[in-house]
C-alpha cells in the first residue's frame, strides 16, 4: 500500500464534485452562511452523528437518510448561523422544506440532499430567506477551488479560518482516486464515546467507488481515530455530523476494503481534526498528546484525551508554564491503567525531546533554573507536542486540543451579542 499523497484543494478536489457558498442572511453579521456540496452523478453515503440525546433536526433527518437511502445521494446543504436544535417538529418541517426547495432548484430527485446545520441552539431556520437565496446559491456552484473555498467559508461560525484537505490514493486495482474534505468547528467540541459518533461538522467526498456499508466501516473507524480525539471545551454538540460521499467518477472496482482508501479518508479527517483543534475558540497553541505503552487502545485514548482536555493543562499551556503535575494528575483521573511511578512525559522537539516527567517524577528540566528555559521554549511554540509513555503495554493513541485563553472566555461569555 502506498501512502496518501496530499494535493491542493478540499471538498471539490475529487472528480465530479462541485460546491458553492453564499450569504443568505441567516447570520445577522451578513457573512456567508449557506453552502452546498453537489455531485454531478449519484453517490453513496455514510454518516456518523452526535450521541447527544438532544439531537438537532438535521441530525435526525441526516441519520435517517443515510440509513434508508444511502445509494442515491447527490450532495449536502449546510446552514450556518442556526443549529436548528430545540426546535421540535417545526424544526424538522423547516429543514425538510429547505431541502425540498433546494432539490427542486437544482433539479435533483427528492431526498437526495443531506442536511447539516451549525450555530446558535434555539432559533428556527429562516425558511423563506433560505429559499429566496437558492437561485444565488445555484449560480455560485463551481468546480475546483472556486467552488470549494466559498463553501468552506460559508460553513464557519466562530471559526477564524477555513479547514480543508485533499489527497490522492492509489487503490489496489491501480485506480487513482481523490479524497477531499472540509470542516468547521471551534467551540462546543468534545469527543463522545461509543460509535457511531462525530464531533463538529466535517464533509468528505471522493471519486472512488464504494458501497454504503463499506463507506460506513471506513468512516466509523477513521472518525474514532481523528475527530473523536479532538477536544476543545468538553461540550459535545447537538449537531455533530461527518458525512462521507463517494461518486465513483474515478472508475475502478469498489474501494470498500482497500487499505489505501481507508488510509486516505483517515488522512483527510486527521488533517481536518488538527485544523479544528488549532482553531479552537481563543486558541493560541495547538496541543498534541501522543500516548504510548498503554495497556489497551481504550486506555491510550482515555489518557490522551484527558491530558488534551484538562482545563488546568490547557491554562498552563496558554501561560507557557511547565506545570507537569497537572499532566500527571490528568493521566491519573483518565481511567487508564497506570503505575504513577512509571510515567514518562517529554516535549517532542525536532532535535531530541525535552523530558518533563521521568519515572513519575518531575524532570530536572522543569525545576527551578531549568523551568525558565522550558518556559521560553513553550512561549515560542505554536504547537506543543507531548509524548507520554505509560510502560504498561503496547497500545498508542493521539489526541488534539488547544490552550485555554482569555479570548475563549470572551468569545463564550458573549457569543450571541
Residues in 157-216 that interact with a copy of itself by CB under 8 A? 187-188, 190, 192
CB of 140 to a copy of itself, least distance (A): 30
- Please identify, using beta-carbon distances, which residue of 106 and 408 lies nearer to a copy of itself: 408
**Does residue 323 belong to the site contacting a copy of itself (CB under 8 A)?**
yes
Binder to a copy of itself among 1, 3, 54, 213 (CB under 8 A)? Answer: 54
Distance of alpha carbon 361 from alpha carbon 256, whole angstroms: 47
CA 252, 258, 260 angle in degrees (round to 5)? Answer: 100
Whole-angstrom distance, CA of residue 126 vs CA of residue 128: 6
Half-sphere exposure of 136 (CA within 13 A, CB side): 15
Check if the beta carbon of residue 74 is closer than 8 Å to that of residue 109.
yes
Only one of the segments 71-79, 80-88, 210-218, 346-354 lies at the binding site for a copy of itself (rule: CB under 8 A); that segment is: 80-88
d(CA 258, CA 267): 14
How would DSSP label each residue in 272-286?
HHHHHHHT-TT-SSE
Active-site residue numbers? 199
Q: What does residue 52 show for φ and ψ, rounded to 5 degrees? A: -60, 135
Count of positions on this chain that bind a copy of itself (CB under 8 A)? 67
Kindly tell me which residue out of 16, 18, 36, 55 binds a copy of itself, with binding defined by CB under 8 A: 55
Side-chain-side CA neighbours of residue 192 (13 Å):
21
Residue among 48, 83, 102, 262 that touches a copy of itself (CB under 8 A): 83
With CB under 8 A as the contact rule, which of the stretches 46-54, 69-77, 149-157, 198-206 interacts with a copy of itself? 46-54
* Burial of 416: CB neighbours in 10 Å, binned 0-12, 13-18, 19+: exposed
Answer for which of 13, 23, 35, 85 binds a copy of itself (CB under 8 A) is 85
Give yes or no for residue 92 binding a copy of itself (CB under 8 A). Answer: no
Among 158, 186, 228, 238, binds a copy of itself (CB under 8 A): 238
Residue 47 or 280 having the CB closest to a copy of itself: 280
Instruction: Give me the least distance between CB of 49 and a copy of itself, in Å please.
Output: 12
Which positions from 332 to 371 touch a copy of itself by CB under 8 A, shown as an x/- string? Answer: xx--xxx-xx-x-------------x--xxx---xx----
CA distances from 28 to 119, 176, 190, 384 (A): 12, 43, 27, 36
**Environment class of 184 (CB within 10 Å of its CB; exposed 0-12, middle 13-18, buried 19+):** buried
Q: Rule CB under 8 A: choose which of 42, 146, 225, 321 binds a copy of itself.
A: 321
Segment lying near a copy of itself (by CB under 8 A), choices 8-16, 83-91, 211-219, 381-389: 83-91
Which of 295-299's residues contact partners 24+ apart within 8 Å by CB, and which partners? 295/336, 295/337, 295/390, 295/392, 295/393, 295/395, 296/393, 296/395, 297/395, 297/396, 297/397, 299/335, 299/336, 299/337, 299/338, 299/390, 299/392, 299/393, 299/395
Of 51, 211, 296, 353, the one binding a copy of itself (CB under 8 A) is 51
- String marking each residue 269-308 x if it binds a copy of itself according to CB under 8 A: ----------------------------------------
For position 64 contacting a copy of itself by CB under 8 A, the verdict is: no
Residue ranges that bind a copy of itself, judged by CB under 8 A: 51-55, 83, 85-88, 120-123, 187-188, 190, 192, 233-238, 309-312, 315-316, 318-319, 321, 323-326, 328-333, 336-338, 340-341, 343, 357, 360-362, 366-367, 404-406, 408-410, 412-417
Amino acid at each position: 500500500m502506498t501512502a496518501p499523497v496530499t494535493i491542493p484543494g478540499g471538498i471539490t478536489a475529487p472528480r465530479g464534485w462541485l460546491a458553492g457558498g453564499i450569504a443568505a442572511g441567516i447570520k445577522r453579521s451578513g457573512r456567508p452562511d449557506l453552502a452546498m456540496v453537489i455531485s454531478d452523478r449519484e453517490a453513496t453515503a455514510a454518516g456518523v452523528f452526535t450521541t447527544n440525546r438532544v439531537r438537532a433536526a438535521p441530525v435526525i433527518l441526516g441519520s435517517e437518510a443515510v440509513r434508508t437511502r444511502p445509494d442515491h445521494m447527490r450532495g449536502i446543504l449546510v446552514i450556518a448561523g442556526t443549529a436548528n436544535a430545540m426546535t421540535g417538529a417545526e424544526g424538522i418541517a423547516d429543514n425538510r422544506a429547505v431541502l425540498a426547495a433546494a432539490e427542486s432548484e437544482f433539479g435533483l430527485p427528492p431526498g437526495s440532499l443531506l442536511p447539516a446545520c451549525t450555530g446558535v441552539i434555539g432559533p428556527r431556520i429562516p425558511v423563506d430567506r433560505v429559499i429566496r437565496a437558492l437561485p444565488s446559491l445555484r449560480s455560485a456552484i463551481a468546480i475546483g477551488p472556486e467552488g470549494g473555498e466559498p463553501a468552506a467559508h460559508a460553513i464557519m461560525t466562530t471559526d477564524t479560518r477555513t479547514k480543508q484537505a485533499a489527497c490522492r490514493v492509489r487503490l489496489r486495482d491501480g485506480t487513482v482516486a481523490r479524497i477531499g474534505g472540509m470542516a468547521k468547528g471551534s467551540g462546543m467540541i468534545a469527543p463522545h464515546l461509543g460509535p457511531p459518533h462525530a464531533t463538529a461538522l466535517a464533509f468528505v467526498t471522493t471519486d472512488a467507488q464504494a458501497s454504503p456499508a463499506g463507506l460506513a466501516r471506513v468512516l466509523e473507524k477513521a472518525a474514532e481515530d481523528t475527530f473523536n480525539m479532538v477536544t476543545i471545551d468538553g461540550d459535545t454538540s447537538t449537531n455533530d455530523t461527518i458525512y462521507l460521499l463517494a461518486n465513483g467518477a474515478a472508475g475502478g472496482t469498489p474501494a470498500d476494503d482497500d487499505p489505501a482508501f481507508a488510509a486516505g479518508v483517515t488522512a483527510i479527517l486527521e488533517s481536518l481534526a488538527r485544523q479544528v483543534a488549532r482553531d479552537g475558540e481563543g486558541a493560541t497553541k495547538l496541543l498534541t498528546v501522543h500516548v504510548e505503552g498503554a495497556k489497551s487502545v481504550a486506555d491510550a485514548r482515555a489518557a490522551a484525551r484527558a491530558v488534551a482536555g484538562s482545563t488546568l493543562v490547557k491554562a498552563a499551556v496558554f501561560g507557557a508554564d511547565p506545570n507537569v503535575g497537572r499532566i500527571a494528575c490528568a493521566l491519573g483521573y483518565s481511567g487508564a491503567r497506570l503505575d504513577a511511578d512509571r510515567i514518562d512525559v517529554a516535549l517532542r522537539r525536532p532535535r531530541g525531546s525535552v523530558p518533563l516527567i521521568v519515572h513519575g517524577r518531575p524532570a530536572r528540566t522543569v525545576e527551578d533554573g531549568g523551568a525558565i528555559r522550558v518556559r521560553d521554549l513553550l512561549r515560542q511554540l505554536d504547537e506543543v507536542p507531548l509524548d507520554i509513555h505509560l510502560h504498561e503495554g503496547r497500545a498508542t493513541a493521539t489526541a488534539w486540543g488547544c490552550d485555554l485563553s482569555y479570548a475563549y472566555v470572551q468569545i463564550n461569555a458573549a457569543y450571541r451579542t
